[in-house]
Amino acid sequence: MSDRDTSVTSPTSVVTDVGDVAKDAWHLIQQEYALARQETIETITPAVRSLALLVGGSLLLILGGVYVLQSVVRLLATRIPSWLASLLSGAAFAAGGAVLMGLGQRQLQQLSFIPQKTINSLKEDTEWLVHQIKSRLT
Determine how many CB atoms are found less than 10 A away from the CB of residue 115: 19
Q: Are 19 and 136 in contact (CB under 8 A)?
A: no
pLDDT at 54: 87
pLDDT at 6: 47
Residue 110: phi and psi, rounded to 5, are -75, -15
What residues of the chain score a pLDDT lower than 70?
A: 1-12, 137-138
**Position 6 in a domain:** no
- Cα distance between residue 14 and residue 56, in whole Å: 62
**Position 5 in a domain:** no
**Position 7 in a domain:** no
**Position 40 in a domain:** yes
pLDDT at 121: 83
Provide the domain count of the chain.
Answer: 1
pLDDT at 19: 80
- CA 47 to chain centroid, in Å, comes to 8
**Position 4 in a domain:** no
**Position 17 in a domain:** yes
pLDDT at 1: 43
In which domain, by residue range, is 125 found? 12-137
**Position 25 in a domain:** yes
**Position 34 in a domain:** yes
pLDDT at 10: 65
Q: Are 41 and 115 in contact (CB under 8 A)?
A: no
